[in-house]
Amino acid sequence: MIFGKDEERYEKIKLRVAEALKRDVGRGIVRFDRRYQKQLGVEPGDIVELIGERSTAAIVANPHPDDRGLDIVRMDGYIRRNAGVSIGDYVTIAKAEVQEAKKVTLAPAQKGVFIQIPGEMVKGNLLGRPVVKGDLVVASSRNETYYGGSPFDELLRGLFETMPLGFGELKFVVVNTVPKGIVQITYNTEVEVLPQAVEVREEAIPEVTYEDIGGLSDAIQKIREMVELPLKHPELFERLGIEPPKGVLLYGPPGTGKTLLAKAVANEANAHFIAINGPEIMSKFYGESEERLREIFKEAEENAPAIIFIDEIDAIAPKREEVVGEVEKRVVSQLLTLMDGLKGRGKVIVIAATNRPDALDPALRRPGRFDREIEVGVPDKAGRKEILQIHTRGMPLEPDYDKETVLRVLRGLMKRKTFDEGTLKRVIERVEDARSEDEVKEALKSESEVYAEVRTRLIDRMLDEIADKTHGFVGADLAALAREAAMVVLRRLINEGKVSPEQERIPPEVLQELRVRKADFYEALKM
């Protein structure tokens, strides 16, 4: 498999996980055959990403001579844990994109351990190490890191010997890194060691990308400008002497993709993401709502760049004349105070969503607060089609091979000279002779490339037609429709007795029959 941009094509390989040599334990290195190193374009000393259930990074070291020609990668238990693999599993390996760590925060991995140790000292033993948030690393007094012995080695050894931890090892969890992703600890890195174990919430960043959002290209463009740009490049705003936005209001009916948009921009900007919703905040015990808001802002500032997403903000901040209990008033003013107090110029951005922008306390819309807005509207036909495409991506769709439609598509291909004319003529003749849908399909299959092209176009037409029939549907409705269409297929197979929960395994022929057709969507629409 080849991934990546044209200019830097790199590959990913899969190797079987084997245990590390004893002396390598705790060093953060992996050993695998030269041949695979070449394939990945790496050399000893380079950093690779290891992807199993989790993803981590390690330094490439020379392969062990006995392993020559074997399809294995040797790594210790820490790396296996960090990559989420066990011995004998396959792990995906790729050349890593590494950034220098500005700051790495560590905490003891063992609960109940209390330590006080300068970060500089631990850093000495981790120099050169690539780490990812959530990794378990070991600072061992017998560690010779890849950069050789550390100047703190003696000190560290003395220190460990006085601590009742056994083995002279101290295990740390990487609680946070700046920047995010794979970072390498260098002399410039600030290493902070927290005194006690903390819970690490992994993957605060949701895995939504702009490609998962349909029909909102204008909104995406705006949010990239208003949120992604300042989070990624605050220096642009500083240089121009303008304030990046602190708050952006997304407004539109429920289920149109406001939450998706916020998650996607957080993901693309590599920002810490904290989501809360208005009703939840308000339902906290009396007096706790403001405390909760303060905590959230604190978490965001500590993990900047960060996005705070407040869904249904109207529940917190209704127009003051409209309601209003004491609690709401206090919560609104707390929110405003926190937003006014946001420092760090553009490093924390609050995105709020509402379907009733007019019902909002106007104080929230003043300059320096939610002073930008993005409409997230009900999708038009083209938008609905895009959304359907997204939600049927992983589905085995099957078009109808209606003869007239197929012939129209083929003639279209003829005009566009996509295929050799003789080939197309032959296929057209065969299709013209066909007397059933199955025969049409068979005729097409005689030329596999033509078949693939026609099939793609038929599926496109099918989604086009469904988009046409779903006026007024929002993204959430279309996602539900796609799911429901798939359930129609499943229910039919259950009714026909082909699928039942008692079956040990579903026969492959039945899996083959799991195809979602236009009629299934129509069936789903009736419900």
Binding site for ligand ADP (CB under 6 A): 213-216, 254-260, 353, 387, 390, 475-476, 479
Is the CB of 84 or the CB of 255 nearer to ligand ADP?
Answer: 255
Q: How far is the CB of 352 from ligand ADP (least distance, A)?
A: 11
Distance in angstroms (rounded) separating the CA atoms of residues 355 and 472 = 16
Is the CB of 36 or the CB of 210 nearer to ligand ADP?
Answer: 210
Query: In sequence order, which residues have a C-beta less than 8 Å from that of residue 87 and are 6 or more positions away?
Result: 17, 18, 19, 80
Is the CB of 185 or the CB of 213 nearer to ligand ADP?
Answer: 213
Alpha carbon distances (Å) from 62 to 38, 312, 314, 461, 494 = 12, 55, 60, 54, 55
Q: How far is the CB of 133 from ligand ADP (least distance, A)?
A: 25
Q: How far is the CB of 215 from ligand ADP (least distance, A)?
A: 5
Strand order in the sheet with 136-140: 136-140, 169-178, 103-108, 190-193
Q: Check: CB of residue 146 under 8 Å from CB of residue 43.
A: no
Q: How far is the CB of 510 from ligand ADP (least distance, A)?
A: 28
Distance in angstroms (rounded) separating the CA atoms of residues 469 and 525 = 9
Residue 117: phi, psi to the nearest 5?
-145, 135
Is the CB of 333 or the CB of 355 nearer to ligand ADP?
Answer: 355
What amino acid occupies position 202?
E
75 - beta bridge partners? 19
Is the CB of 214 or the CB of 230 nearer to ligand ADP?
Answer: 214
Q: How far is the CB of 381 from ligand ADP (least distance, A)?
A: 14
Is the CB of 177 or the CB of 392 nearer to ligand ADP?
Answer: 392
Is the CB of 265 or the CB of 440 nearer to ligand ADP?
Answer: 265
Is the CB of 231 or the CB of 351 nearer to ligand ADP?
Answer: 351
Is the CB of 94 or the CB of 220 nearer to ligand ADP?
Answer: 220
Residue 70: how many CA atoms within 13 Å on its side-chain side?
14
List of long-range contacts for 233-238, beta carbons under 8 Å, 24+ apart: 234/345, 234/346, 234/347, 237/345, 237/346, 238/345
Is the CB of 121 or the CB of 213 nearer to ligand ADP?
Answer: 213
Is the CB of 378 or the CB of 510 nearer to ligand ADP?
Answer: 378
Q: Check: CB of residue 80 under 8 Å from CB of residue 74.
A: no
Distance in angstroms (rounded) separating the CA atoms of residues 176 and 207 = 18
Q: How far is the CB of 390 from ligand ADP (least distance, A)?
A: 5
Is the CB of 216 or the CB of 364 nearer to ligand ADP?
Answer: 216
Return the residue nearest ligand ADP (CB atom).
475
Q: How far is the CB of 267 from ligand ADP (least distance, A)?
A: 13
Q: How far is the CB of 253 from ligand ADP (least distance, A)?
A: 7
Distance in angstroms (rounded) separating the CA atoms of residues 74 and 17 = 6
Q: How far is the CB of 476 from ligand ADP (least distance, A)?
A: 4
Q: How far is the CB of 261 from ligand ADP (least distance, A)?
A: 7
Burial (CB count <10 Å: 0-12, 13-18, 19+), residue 132: buried
**Strand 306-311 to strand 272-277: parallel, antiparallel, or no bridges (unpaired)?**
parallel
Q: What is the dihedral of CA 407, 413, 419, 420, to 10 degrees?
A: 70
- Residue showing tokens 């013209």: 432
Closest Cα partner for 468 from 343, 406, 381, 347? 381
Distance in angstroms (rounded) separating the CA atoms of residues 192 and 194 = 6
Q: How far is the CB of 199 from ligand ADP (least distance, A)?
A: 26
Closest Cα partner for 31 from 93, 96, 124, 83? 93
Is the CB of 95 or the CB of 258 nearer to ligand ADP?
Answer: 258
Query: In sequence order, which residues have a C-beta less than 8 Å from that of residue 253 and are 6 or more positions away?
Result: 355, 377, 378, 474
Q: How far is the CB of 135 from ligand ADP (least distance, A)?
A: 30
Structure tokens, 43 = 């050399």
Closest Cα partner for 520 from 380, 378, 392? 392
Q: How far is the CB of 399 from ligand ADP (least distance, A)?
A: 22
Structure tokens, 172 = 């740390």
Structure tokens, 321 = 């004349």
